[in-house]
Structure 1
């Protein structure tokens, strides 16, 4: 089915397509209004070495400075990953919900970072509460880190610290989360409109075809031939004749006597007999008879002893 046929069907079944499309638009607008707007914000924290480790490192380097920001070593990255996994555990999520933090959040190492930085992302529908939850989660992360070290009998001077690098940012609208249900509802309704239009068209064609076949008188068909009946849609329906039972082959005729190659390659010509040598004119006017030789005679006169039986003229 080409594009022209699709457009003809949609134009023909407009009373199905148009209301369904209007319904799709209405449902899309309704979902967009009813679905609450989702906002997102984030904050970033970092781990710092303990005071004792900072003092030891400064004495080794000879700088004589107790600045923890100068010694962000690789061990702190492993500790930050450990803390992030702890904050996303099921027990921690339930504990935070009991404390009023109902937003969804995610804790992960900062991308393209060269230090122990954790990014905390939160999503919610209330902008003010979202900012409060972000600050609450940052404080909870610091408390959790201290509790873990305290349970493992880490001295105060050897404990890793946590500070906030980026405070909670102004919440932004999550457009994707807003439009996703709208696209699903409106797109599904529009697709249903096309399916219904083609389904109704298919049923209608099938009924018209059956009605045309019922009204057409049956014509006798000869075995071995096929009759064609034009369809109302411009196609041709071929009615094939019933299969004829197989007939056993007739015995092969006896081979004809073999003829010579001359007979097969030449043709006999019957030549009429030649006419008599004499023509009609000759028959009508016969030639005068040639004078016959004189007969012998006998002379009564004696001719000096010559032969008397000589032919005349000799």
Structure 2
């Protein structure tokens, strides 16, 4: 059927299509109300090299050079960030940070990309996101993640016997933000329910139309059959 035929069927069977659509709209409203709001708190960290770089001078009298850490980035910082990100995404660390197996609260630690492979070759940035149905819980788990990044980086450098003067440091560029309500899931679920309502209205209208037309044809055939003997007898 084309567009105008569809409108004609809907107009003719409005008493079937409208109730079906209203039921779907009611279901959409119910879904929107029942899906809880999720709050998100985010933080951004950047790994810095020490002022004198990652090496100590060979001679005690050689004081070396002093460099602005924000101008001293190399691949080593990227690798360190990738190692820390992978470490914080393990189930053991998640449990230690208080992430729930049911997903509330939960956290994400990435380099800003959702692709696991890209997290290995990114810059010296660590993005932290805490999520929960409770605003304070979302910010709290984000704060714990920030502290865990610092601890993880320091402990790994200590385990490798790196001189303390060469330790990579963590600069919290953005502290865990005030939690923001995320209503995307609610809106998407309601939109899907409305679309399904339109489909249900069309299906109900067409089904009733097909049923009515079938009964009409059957009734016409029965009438013709009942008139055949009377015409023959005449």
Q: TM-score, normalised by structure 1?
A: 0.59
**Residue 66 of structure 1: CA displacement?**
6.5
Q: Which residue of 2 aligns with 1:47?
A: 47
Task: Give 2:150's match in structure 1, choosing from 125, 142, 146.
Answer: 142
Answer yes or no: is the 8 Å Cα contact 2:111–2:123 preserved in 1: no
Task: Give 2:177's match in structure 1, choosing from 166, 169, 173.
Answer: 169
Q: Which residue of 2 aligns with 1:232?
A: none
Q: Name the CA shift for 1:99/1:7 in 2 (closer, same or farther; >3 Å).
A: closer
Cα separation, 1, equivalents of 2:213 and 2:100: 65
SS at match of 2:66: coil
Deviations 1:130-178 (A, max 9, x none): 1222111100111122222333343433432223111112222324222
Pair 1:130-2:138 in alignment: yes
Answer yes or no: is the 8 Å Cα contact 2:52–2:66 preserved in 1: no
Cα separation, 2, equivalents of 1:209 and 1:28: 38
Task: Give 1:201's match in structure 2, choosing from 187, 197, 209.
Answer: 209
Pair 1:33-2:33 in alignment: yes
Answer yes or no: is the 8 Å Cα contact 1:55–1:66 preserved in 2: no
Answer yes or no: is the 8 Å Cα contact 2:51–2:67 preserved in 1: yes
**Residue 202 of structure 1: CA displacement?**
0.8
Answer yes or no: is the 8 Å Cα contact 2:54–2:166 preserved in 1: no
Cα separation, 2, equivalents of 1:50 and 1:102: 37
Q: Which residue of 1 aligns with 2:108?
A: 106
Cα separation, 2, equivalents of 1:22 and 1:142: 54
Deviations 1:11-43 (A, max 9, x none): 222222111222222222222222212222310
Q: Name the CA shift for 1:4/1:48 in 2 (closer, same or farther; >3 Å).
A: closer
**Residue 80 of structure 1: CA displacement?**
0.7
Cα separation, 2, equivalents of 1:99 and 1:194: 43
Answer yes or no: is the 8 Å Cα contact 2:100–2:106 preserved in 1: no
The structure with the greater share of residues assigned to helix is 2
Q: Which residue of 2 aligns with 1:81?
A: 82
**Structure with bigger gyration radius:** 1
Q: Which residue of 1 aligns with 2:194?
A: 186
**Residue 102 of structure 1: CA displacement?**
3.7
Work out the number of aligned pairs and report it: 217
Q: Which residue of 1 aligns with 2:126?
A: 118
**Residue 195 of structure 1: CA displacement?**
0.6
**Residue 69 of structure 1: CA displacement?**
3.7
Q: TM-score, normalised by structure 2?
A: 0.77
1:1-314 matched pairs, under 5 angstroms: 1-50=1-50, 53=53, 56=56, 64-65=65-66, 67-97=68-98, 102-110=104-112, 116-217=124-225
Answer yes or no: is the 8 Å Cα contact 2:39–2:180 preserved in 1: yes
SS at match of 1:154: coil
Q: Name the CA shift for 1:55/1:89 in 2 (closer, same or farther; >3 Å).
A: closer
Q: Name the CA shift for 1:195/1:98 in 2 (closer, same or farther; >3 Å).
A: closer
Which ranges in structure 1 are unaligned for 5 or more consecutive residues? 221-314
Computed over aligned residues only, the root mean square deviation of the Cα atoms, in angstroms, reads 3.3
